[in-house]
Structure 1
Amino acid sequence: MTVNAPDILNASILIVDDQEPNVSLLEQLLSEAGYTGVASTMNSQEVCALHRKNRYDLILLDLQMPGMDGFQVMEGLKTNEADRYLPVIVLTAQPGHKLRALQAGAKDFISKPFDLVEVKTRIHNMLEVRLLYKQLESYNQVLEQTVRERTAELRESEARYRSLTELASDWYWEQDERGTFTKVSGPVLEMLGIRVDTLAGEHSGAPVAGWNEAEREELQAKIAARQPFLDFTLSRVNGDGSQQKFRVSGEPMFNQTSRFIGYRGIGVETTAKN
């Protein structure tokens, strides 16, 4: 990120001083240097409202003013939640006030009487830092918005995928690395008539009666080898003698570090309907 000279010269600056000669001197100095966005006020009580309205890139703030001094103005500026950066250079003739001003949140100071070269240098440097900060803040906002948009797109894509799989199958399923079902979409429990803890049909470590053992063992071997499978046939005989057939497809899932985290897939009952 860089700041161009025109950006600095077009920055918004507010001069706050109760002495008209000081205001006039700073306005003339900044005008001659090419700054175009300079405003001023001699009423310190207006500063916070003006900054909320205009969000100045820099405030040149006199510390000793009647009614509301510069320290009180800085405290008021801190309540502006829209701007967490306090863009203030204090103007002071009191050496003892410099450290206190910095501790109060000022970013720099200019001593009175003014050294015109020092004034221009400090203002230029301060504006460069301020505009870089604003660029970073804007970049972060764009990045956060991009993340929100991508997250919404992923959720929408997942919803469409689930909708399509539900239309094309009787259930959608996901398992963790231990083989336990973590997501099931569809009437799998009603369809199978059992509580399924693994795709191979095991529950609490014991085989569920009725399943074709050869098919189960073949499927279990594919899962153990972390192989994808397509339209694998499973069949079972129910207690009343009726038969059911199912076709399942699945693929292993891996995270960004290539660690196996489980399976996902779809299933459909293919039992012939009378």
Structure 2
Amino acid sequence: MQIRKKIISLALLSSSAACMQTSLAQDMLKPDMGKLTATGGVSQLEGAGGGGLTPWALITGYGTRDSYGANAHYTQVNTQDYSLKTYGVAVGIADRVELSLASQEFTGSLAPLNALNIKQDIFGLKVKLAGDAVYEQDSWMPQIAVGAMYKRNKGIGGLGALGVTNVKQLGAKDDSGVDYYVSATKILLEQSLLLNGTLRMTKANQMGILGFGGDKKDSYRPMLETSVAYLLNRKLAVGAEYRMKPRNLGVDNEKDYYDVFLAWFPSKNVSVTAAYATLGDITIFNPKNQRGWYLSLQAGF
């Protein structure tokens, strides 16, 4: 009788332990969404977590160091003569590593480039090295991260009648390339202020849409990118960005990018960003300063 009771007790203990393990495993699989609202940033044009034009040192998503986060985004930019669509996904792991995948489609709307269509895929990796932009408020040390973006241009559509099907025919040296960058981000909670600086080593023409390197220059050079954002409240931020650009191509008098933006975070699952952007000249065929609206939707956890 006693042996039977012991067997039953052991079985109950084993069952209880199995249930606890299952519950623990389920908890580990759930994203904790423990970061403060807006501290995952929004989705940058190339898929990384940050502002609209430039990556930040922040890791995308709302997962803490014991969890993970992920999101999907769609962005549209319209200027007088061109349209850029970007969509993709990103994952933040343990608030330390970020992986992103984005696709861009660039089209023209004004002759002689009204049939223009260029597509590009971007694979991104970001790793947090030091600091914490939010929780180290007693230190001026920013959060620092390094990243890389592998970009693959998929050719030029709509200009076959002119004999142009590849960015190399416009003077670019390559149709794929890698951007390397280091970002430093600091959030000053008392001042409701975010400051970011990014130094990018790149050969990309118009982010890679017109290839990499060119007939004028074909070497990596440092490009400065900056962002500043002011949190009006916990759900609304206003800010501005600046991004230097290389000038490698004779057919593209490339100019630096600027924008002013308004980002709304109704919840940790959704963000909407609207901006007015100045993208400068894009090719000598439509030589005017391209300005227009930028709208981005991000959903995730």
TM-score w.r.t. length of structure 2: 0.27
Q: Flag the structure with higher strand content.
A: 2
Higher-RCO chain (CA-CA 8 Å, sequence separation at least 6): 2
Q: Flag the structure with higher helix content.
A: 1
Higher gyration radius (CA): 1
